[in-house]
Amino acid sequence: MTPPTLPFREVAGALVPGGDVQSVPGVRVGSAERTAGGWLTGTTAIVAPPGAVAGRDVRGGGPATHETDVLVPGTHSPAVDALVLTGGSAWGLAAAGGVQQGLAADGRGFPAPGLPGAFVPIVPAAAVYDLGRGDGTVRHPDAELGLAAHRAATAASAPLRRGSVGAGTGAFIGRGLLRGGLGSVCLRTPTGRLVAAIVAANPMGDVLEPSGRLHAAGVLSRMGAELPSAPADWVERALEIDSAARRDPSLSAVLRESDASGDATRGNTTIAVIVTDAPLDSAQTTRLAQSAQAGLARAIHPSHTLADGDTVFALSTGGAAAGGGSRQPYEPLDPLDLLMLNSAAADALSLAIVDAALSAVPHPAGPQDASEVLHGDGSAGGEPAVPRGTAAARLPRPAALRQIAPELAEAWSRLRADGTASATGSPS
């Protein structure tokens, strides 16, 4: 007997070929980072169309956030002008001020009462912990870097930069075993809605099982996609690549002391934004963010720990006004449509985390460029590295997953480019 077709047996969303958050009309993303002169951090700005509604959900035990209370359903206005993902822990939240400056100059934001021509852009933000990963000192994004990210987002249309850029520049996975990064995918639901995710993956947990299988393999399998596993000795291979940090006698005692004190578990957090073109109100958008957290747990183990600040934003552009103006009225969605949106949000975040891990490049190593670099337009070259023999050179220099599992990385690249079979059509 053929089982009935029910929402929980259908694929919630199919992978859109080459899709990302910019596949959702009206959404623009820009990243800027500093990777020279001892820096290894960055910021990503997700600029929303006017009238877009946002929600948020915080599950980690150590979050670093800004302006999240304004997104609680029932507050004055759920609309936002942009969302910011950034490095630098709580220090890095200053980057949101630079995004605000750029938006205000563009006339975006809440009109300030009694002050003609003055605006207060609403820019919630969340940060990952990447302090000290360049040269062992506190270097963090600031308003200047935030403004550079805004300018990159609002400049001429350009493909989304992924990998070791923006908020993912200094990201680690598994307490420094692998390099993290910035990843993004877009799904299309059976009813034609777009649900996209962008994530800065910097978790304490791993994205691979001990056997080398992706934790998110089950999500891919439901879409009819199978990817090869990483080698069974992937941990040993990662440690081999990071041999300077793991074998250096002068550092081994530091690492042991760090593990004993718990310091090695404190520099984590995965932060993300879910974007949909479906028209949602504040409560529904908040539910979308909450549902997406399941996708984080399916791709990372463990997740939502006391040592992570896992935070997910959600953005609905469905009622946003074209070309500015007030939010447009909309018809309530069918309950089953909402159910599929929530399921797709979780799947999108799982796959965006896979993308972040497999898009990351090897950690810098070699001669150090003494200059400071802003990569707001993505035109600068490769990442300068930290000189050997310095204190910074003895810091962990994690491997990129693509180094350890090139077949997995190539298979993911093909799948992301081709999409999955039921993703008919292209983003409008």
The enclosing domain of 49 has a CATH number of 3.60.70.12
> Do the domain assignments include residue 225?
yes
Going by DSSP bridges, is the β-strand pair 311-316/28-34 parallel, antiparallel, or unpaired?
unpaired
> Do the domain assignments include residue 357?
yes
Residue 311 forms beta bridges with which residues?
Answer: 58, 271
Q: What is the pLDDT of residue 319?
A: 66
Distance of CA 88 to the CA centre of its chain: 14
List of residues 6+ apart from 288 with CB closer than 8 A: 55, 274, 276, 280, 314, 316, 341, 342, 345
Residue 312 forms beta bridges with which residues?
Answer: 57, 272
Q: What is the pLDDT of residue 394?
A: 55
As a whole number of angstroms, the distance between CA 364 and CA 399 comes to 10
Q: pLDDT of 146-187, one tens digit each?
A: 999 999 999 978 899 999 999 999 999 998 999 999 999 999
Tokens of 297: 């747990």
Q: Which helix (H) or strand (E) holds 95?
A: helix 95-105
> Do the domain assignments include residue 424?
no
Q: What is the pLDDT of residue 10?
A: 77
Domain that holds residue 242: 14-418
What is the total count of domains within the chain? 1
As a whole number of angstroms, the distance between CA 60 and CA 329 comes to 35
> Do the domain assignments include residue 358?
yes
pTM of the model: 0.89
Q: What is the pLDDT of residue 6?
A: 55
Tokens of 49: 């169309």
> Do the domain assignments include residue 336?
yes
Q: What is the pLDDT of residue 333?
A: 86
As a whole number of angstroms, the distance between CA 65 and CA 58 comes to 9
3-state secondary structure of 42: strand
| C-alpha dist (Å) from residue 270 to 61, 127, 343, 350, 384 | 12, 9, 19, 12, 25
Q: What are the mean pLDDT values of the chain's consecutive 10-residue runs (428 residues total)?
A: 57 94 97 94 97 95 94 85 98 98 95 90 97 91 98 90 97 94 97 96 97 97 95 94 57 46 65 97 96 98 93 91 54 87 98 98 57 48 39 72 97 95 48
As a whole number of angstroms, the distance between CA 2 and CA 115 comes to 66
Which among 252, 255, 32, 237 is positioned nearest to 146, based on CA atoms? Answer: 32
> Do the domain assignments include residue 314?
yes
> Do the domain assignments include residue 425?
no
> Do the domain assignments include residue 48?
yes
